[in-house]
Every structure is written in structure tokens, then in C-alpha cells.
Amino acid sequence: MLNSTLDIAADLLALLGSTATEPRPDEQLEALTLAVAADLPVLLWGEPGIGKTAGITQLAETLGLPLTTVIASVHEPTDFSGLPVIGEDPATRGIPMAPPDWAVRLAEAGHGLLFLDELSTAPPAVQAALLRVVLERRVGALTLPPGVRIVAAANPRGSAADGWELSAPLANRFVHLRWTHDSEVVVRGLGGTWPRAALPRLDAARLPDAVAYARRAVCTLLQARPALIHQLPQSETKRGGPWPSPRTWDMALRLIAFASAAGTSREVLSALVRGTVGDGPGLELLASLDRMDLPDPEAVLADPYGVALPDRGDLRQAVLDALVTAVRERPDRARWDAAWAVLVRALETGAPDLVVVPASTLAAQRRDDWPVPEAIERLAGAVGIARRADRVPAGR
């Protein structure tokens, strides 16, 4: 009777555990998958029970990678640095550091997903032992094969059991991603269908351009802002998160290249960049990327009706300002007329207030022998500049 009841219970548990997956846009899952594809260690931060472990398990299943879970807080430092084993002739050959069984299994498999759970509850000695595992993929005398990816999870110190702040050297080796729950995803998942992760589709034809784009973006910013190259946070809490260093800028460069080759959305790229070098430097890098994507003002002046203007207001404003600056640096009637044509397009396709300052500045550049173009009259309803253009003295 007991066995029959347990058999029925097992059938019920099997039905409850039988779930399906579906392709569904999920920015945090996409960010995680892209970082895994880029072979960068990822650290997921989230409250207990938020679904970090479930997300990692589902990711491993989708990617076809065997999952090895190691609870960092219940291991000794020697479980990561290796146990000394005396050989036949230690005086001449030394004492090798034997790796634990989980590392041997990963090496034999040749690929897999190493999941370091509860990282924020690992004491400092264990965190120190993890440094070579995360960065060099070495466990004792064993080097993990290139097919092994590393993902970790941690709870904020306030919600972790006997939690520790992450050490600065260990934190600086990870891409930090915030893991939150989406109510629609949870409800649909509890109903039997969870989102499915997929490796990003990299366009082989775009790889050289993606690398050049990423290098130019990072180098342009750091040449203009060298103070951002290395900024160790003052507080212990912030040191346990993302912060800029030559190592993390190299990680950001890799992520930009992968995101560019995969056509990743700005939201996903933003999470990855800020999770690598921190919010402040990350936002500056994103702004630098935006400026790189803007059309060349000379190209706009050469084809005022053909070059597309950005939809975002701040980027459109930057294009119009650059346009006016280009005319001021090399004044010419044809260039002046072309700039007015662009301003009219901007007025007709966007917010009128974006045109006010560039139009006023452009009007001030008029020479006496330049007739007022019809474009100014078309802008007069939004910008009171027609009379200003008539009364500006020559040579301005």
C-alpha cells in the first residue's frame, strides 16, 4: 500500500516537473547568455528565491552544457587551490596540488557550466582561493578546458546568511548582473512554460568591424578621460561590485564587440557595460558609443535630404549642433543653405524646441550677400529668427 502511494506521488511530482520552454524576449537572460558566449565570468546578484539557480539550470540545459554546482561557502580554500599530494620524489619533483573531483569531471568532459553558488557567504580565505579559478581557470594543478564557462550567484550582504562583502580582486573579475523577477515570466512559468535561452547569433561578416568598433569606442573614451582607467572605490561595499580597471575595460571591449556582432539591443549592452566597469564609467562609455553612431556632419551637408536623422532627441540635438559648428568652421553659402534644409527636416520630423538653438546660431552666421533662404520663413513659426537674420551685420 505504501509503495503504491509513493508511486502515485512520484507520478504527480513528474507531472509537476514537466514544463515546456518558449522563445521569449528576456533582457537579463540575453545579457547572461551573451556574457557566457564571450567567455567572461558572470556574477548574478539577487535576493534569495528570485530564481538565480533556476535560471542557471535552464541556461545549461538550453545550451547543452553539463552543469556542475559548487556551493562556495561550504568548501575549504584547498578545495579550489588543490590538496597537496606527496609523490614518489617530492625533493626533485615537488608536491603536486591535487584538484577536487568536480574539477576532474569538468576537465574530462571538456566543456560545461561551473556554477559557484552563494559566493557572498564564502569567507575571505575561500574568496582568495577562487581568484585563480575565476581568472585563470586553474584548480590546483589542473587547468579547466576552454569549453568550461563560469557563472556565480550571490545575495546582497543584507539578505545573505552570514554574508561577507566580496573582495575587490574577486569582484573585479566578474561581469555583475542584477537578477530580478518578471511577474509575467513567473506566472507563465508556473503555468508550465518558461522562457528559453539561446546563444547570440553572431554575424560572421561583421566580426572585423565589431572588433574595430569596440576598440575605437573604449580607446576614444579613455584617451579623453584617462582618470577612468582605474578607479578603486573608497567604500568596501562598492569594491564588491563592478568598477573600472584595465581588466574590466578589456572585458567591456569584448562585450561591445560581441554585442555589435550579434546586433544586441542597447538595453542589454547597457546592463553588460555597467555591470563591468560600473554605472558612472559605463554610462560615459554608452554616451561615447552614441556619438560614434552619429552621422558625419559633412555627409549631412553633402546630402541634406538623404542622410537619416536620429530619432532620439539628445542624439538629434547633437547632430544639429555639429552641423552648425561645421558651417561656422568653414562658412560657405551652399553649406549654409544645406544646413537650413536639414533644420527644416528636423522641425518636420521631431520636436520643434530642438531646432531653436541651432537655428539661431546658424542665422548669426549669415553674410550680407547671402539671401535669406525660404527655409527660414518655414521655420519662423517655431523659431523667431527671420528678422534676426536680416539685421545681423556682415562678417558674423
**What topology is assigned to 19-83+99-196 in CATH?**
Rossmann fold (3.40.50)
Q: What percent of the chain has pLDDT over 90?
A: 35
pLDDT of residue 86: 67
* Helix (DSSP H) and strand (DSSP E) numbers for the chain: 20, 11
Taking Cα atoms as reference points, which of 34, 21, 14, 43 lies closest to residue 258? 34
pLDDT of residue 121: 86
**pLDDT surpasses 80 at 247:** yes
pLDDT of residue 375: 67
Taking Cα atoms as reference points, which of 138, 145, 310, 177 lies closest to residue 255? 177
- Residue of 379 and 112 predicted with greater confidence: 112
**pLDDT surpasses 80 at 261:** yes
- Residue of 386 and 268 predicted with greater confidence: 268
Poorest-pLDDT segment among 16-20, 150-154, 232-236: 16-20
Mean pLDDT of 209-221: 93
pLDDT of residue 384: 53
**pLDDT surpasses 80 at 260:** yes
Q: Exposure string (b/e) for 303-333, b if CB count within 10 Å is 16 or more? A: ebeebebbeeeebbbbbbebbbebbbeeeee
- Residue of 346 and 272 predicted with greater confidence: 272
Indicate yes or no: pTM above 0.85.
no
- Domain residue extents for the chain: 19-83+99-196, 204-292, 297-391
